[in-house]
Structure 1
């Protein structure tokens, strides 16, 4: 199959799944903004996205996007290393005009995945998963409802290490998403001298705004949880 047998096909899969994940990250950022200004509304959104069939279908689709994106990233990395052979380190270190993030996308991706695992443990496992399994989460002897997103935010950010881990994850996400955003358009053929600089500019501002809002939200959540 072309999407698996050719390098261009694999890069296209990476681009499409990456675009979907960028849209999800943007949605997540906006959803967190609701928690800042309208806690009851945020909990209503959490209830809407609980163990309902449509939310479960969306969660499975999102999980599939992450898995496909990660597997294809590893596949392309191994392919590139085999193609370079013994010259891979010399080329990577000496290639002129190559962005740092471009040469370290795999490492950045690993950091983002590690951050994602922490995030899933702190929220998804205690909310949607707990609702599916009909388990009760107790905090200091008090039952916390799976749809009480504000309570889980306060629990998570009352721990001193949480904002540190999140900010490290957000910085890695900025580098990973900034490069991936414009490179997915380059994969699709928008790589001429007119469009590529524009796409890099859009990528920089989109990523900076989204990640900047994430960091602000993390700081505010930490202050409120103290």
Structure 2
């Protein structure tokens, strides 16, 4: 197993893990967005509560969720490790070479963007996951009945949360950070995995940019819809 340890400790190996976990988390973002948009159906949150009930009771979803938690932890830890390794390898900034001429702001700020998203994720888990799972929903209508089974009314919690201007602002900032992070990360993942080629690099770049914008807008729609409706 020494080759596994060597791979995990190498810069290239850690970048590959970062890329694979990042692409896995992208699939989760897509599924999560589809669920979020259920609240736009205007049925007083019934479709959203049905989606939440399915996600919280399905065994396969539970298994995938544990994989997602592991992917998030690995992605964060290796991001920190690579950043510290890069700083250690180049403790003094180049005096002549201009970093702006050789890299984008997003690539130079991945640690900052990643930290923003991590804070956003922690707040998101507290506001919704923890309160839903632990029953910390301080609203009168705490339970809804779905196919004869009672569940906590997560739709009311989401609506009440995004009616608050501060919560809306925090989430929108987090979503912007997510979009920028996705744009750069998407392209970097393909490059790290050796899937880039001059014949279709332009397509990958354009697809990554379009995907990032669509995801950011998609995630912003729900809180904005709730706040202004």
Bin for the TM-score computed over the shorter chain: 0.7 to 0.9
Question: Alpha-carbon deviation of 1:9?
Answer: 0.9
**Structure 1 position 28 matched with structure 2 position 32:** yes
Helix, strand or coil: the match of 1:139? coil
1:134-184 deviation digits (Å, cap 9, x = unpaired): xx4342555356542211111211222111001100111011111001110
Structure 1 unaligned blocks of 5 or more: 131-135
Superposed CA offset, 1:94-142 (max 9, x none): 3524110000000000000101111111110012x32xxxxx4342555
Q: TM-score, normalised by structure 2?
A: 0.86
Shift in alpha-carbon separation, 1:95–1:159, aligned structure 2, 3 A: closer
Cα separation, 1, equivalents of 2:97 and 2:76? 21
- Point out the more displaced range, 63-72 or 207-216: 207-216
SS at match of 2:64: helix
State which drifts further: 12-21 or 139-148.
139-148
Match of 1:195 among 189, 195, 200: 200
Three-state SS of the structure 2 residue aligned to 1:155 is: helix
Residue 165 of structure 1: which of 166, 170, 173 is its match? 170
Counterparts of 1:2-151 in structure 2, within 5 Å, are 2-37=6-41, 39-50=45-56, 53-87=59-93, 90=95, 93-127=98-132, 129-130=133-134, 136-140=135-139, 142-144=141-143, 146-151=151-156
Structure 1 vs Structure 2 CA RMSD: 2.1
Following superposition, the deviation at residue 51 of structure 1 comes to 5.0
Q: Residue 148 of structure 2 aligns with which residue? A: none
- Residue matched to 1:222: 227
Asked whether the 8 Å contact 1:46–1:147 carries over to 2, the reply is no
